């Protein structure tokens, strides 16, 4: 006989399973009173606000959190292979927040150079984008929840992005930067971009946005680390850049794994890439698509790196590597003109200013 499951353990109750419609609103009842058989766990909750969200139209053709994705067979040699490999890699290089906080406590705010202040001004803004990790992961999982390996990785990766926010938060508070006021719990919650199942377009664009976005993150932190004079700040940004490098390597490995499993993956991903870049339209010269797109601070950070003169170095290195990574992923199938890609990845200051004033 099936073990009765608490409603909060299960994913679904519907009238088809013999439950009265009133029980669909089970969240209003004491959870311990609501049971459903194990056979009912394969579908999804449909109550209150969740119902409205789950019925939202999506570009990937299935309701949020319902898309079925391939998982390896238990005996397959690639079962959890990327997760195992990258978790080992990330843990081997994992650094401790306690160490970072101890280092930050040694910083004398009076020792900061003019360049340090500019770098901090940029990373303080970027930190708020990193702090959107909860929204970013929920929007990714709206598509990828049932790809077990991807979902496991996404929770780990987003945890590291959140850690990046917290490091910079501690640093800004130590040196008395005004952006510290934006790093409190209430402000961060207010700045969450929130649940949007269309945020990552589809399962292919989602991987590509992560590949391209992590590449930008690497060079952003590397260039800012190179510009910083204060050694704790420099070391902190170098650590974060190395995390971003491992994140990028995961998404590339994931792309190649999926491409190796399914001959339709590369053509589908190429169509999504063209759609994402709006390759059939004139370039609009706005900020490039990124995990942080939609967060106001992403535009503010872009404006600041332009204003302080870091953007040319960041974007030149980024776009160069992004193109090389796309070539690695797509091989001969990549039929996009490199110049068309480059022009779409390089924002113009006047466009960013217009986007900021429109928000
Ligand atoms: Fe990050
Ligand atoms: Fe990252």
With b for 16 or more beta-carbon neighbours within 10 A and e for fewer, the 217-253 pattern comes to bbbbbbbbbebbebebbbebbebbbebbbbbbbbbbe
Domain annotation covers residue 74? no
d(CA 221, CA 234): 9
261 CA to middle of ligand 2, Å? 25
Question: Domain range spanning residue 29?
Answer: 5-54
Ligand 2 (ion): residues with CB under 5 Å are 214, 244, 247
Considering only CA atoms, which of 241, 219, 227, 232 is closest in space to residue 116? 227
Cβ 93 vs Cβ 242: under 8 Å: yes
Domain match, 37 and 92 both: no
The total of structural domains in the chain comes to: 2
Indicate the pTM of the whole model. 0.84
Q: What sign results for the dihedral spanned by CA atoms 164, 312, 284, 277?
A: negative
| DSSP result, 155-180 | HHHHHHHHHHHHHHHHHHHHHT-GGG
332 CA to middle of ligand 2, Å? 28
Domain annotation covers residue 65? no
For the segment 25-52, the average pLDDT, to the nearest whole number, is 37
| Token pair 């303080």 in the structure block, residue | 124
Tell me the pLDDT band of 53, cut-offs 50, 70 and 90: low
Domain annotation covers residue 72? no
Asked which of 179-193, 269-283, 285-299, 333-347 is least confident by mean pLDDT, the reply is 285-299
Strands 5-6 and 35-36: antiparallel
253 CA to middle of ligand 2, Å? 15
Q: What CATH number corresponds to the domain at position 297? A: 1.10.620
For the segment 56-77, the average pLDDT, to the nearest whole number, is 86
Domain match, 39 and 93 both: no
244 CA to middle of ligand 2, Å? 4
């Amino acid at each position: 006989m099936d073990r009765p499951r608490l409603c909060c353990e299960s994913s679904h109750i519907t009238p088809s399973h013999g439950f009265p419609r009133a029980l669909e609103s089970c969240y209003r009842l004491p959870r311990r009173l609501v049971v459903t058989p194990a056979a009912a766990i394969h579908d999804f909750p449909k109550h209150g606000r969740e119902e409205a969200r789950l019925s939202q139209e999506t570009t990937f053709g299935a309701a949020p959190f319902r898309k079925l994705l391939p998982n390896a067979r238990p005996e397959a040699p690639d079962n959890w292979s990327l997760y195992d490999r990258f978790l080992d890699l990330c843990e081997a290089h994992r650094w401790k927040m306690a160490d970072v906080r101890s280092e930050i406590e040694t910083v004398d705010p009076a020792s900061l150079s003019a360049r340090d202040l500019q770098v901090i001004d940029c990373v303080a803004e970027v930190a708020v984008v990193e702090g959107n990790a909860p929204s970013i992961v929920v929007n990714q999982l709206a598509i990828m929840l049932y790809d077990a390996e991807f979902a496991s990785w996404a929770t780990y990766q987003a945890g590291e992005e959140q850690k990046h926010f917290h490091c910079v938060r501690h640093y800004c508070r130590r040196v008395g930067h005004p952006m510290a006021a934006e790093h409190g719990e209430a402000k961060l919650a207010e700045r969450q971009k929130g649940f949007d199942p269309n945020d990552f377009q589809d399962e292919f664009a989602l991987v590509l946005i992560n590949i391209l976005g992590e590449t930008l993150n690497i060079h952003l932190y590397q260039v800012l680390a190179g510009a910083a004079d204060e050694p704790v700040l420099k070391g902190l940004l170098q650590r974060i850049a190395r995390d971003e490098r491992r994140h990028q390597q995961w998404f590339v490995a994931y792309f190649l794994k999926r491409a190796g499993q399914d001959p339709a993956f590369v053509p589908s991903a190429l169509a999504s890439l063209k759609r994402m870049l709006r390759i059939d339209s004139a370039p609009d010269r706005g900020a490039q698509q990124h995990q942080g797109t939609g967060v106001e601070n992403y535009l503010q950070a872009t404006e600041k790196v332009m204003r302080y003169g870091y953007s040319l170095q960041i974007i030149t290195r980024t776009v160069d590597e992004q193109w090389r990574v796309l070539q690695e992923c797509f091989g001969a199938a990549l039929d996009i003109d490199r110049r068309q890609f480059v022009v779409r990845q390089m924002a113009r200051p006047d466009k960013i200013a217009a986007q900021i004033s429109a928000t």
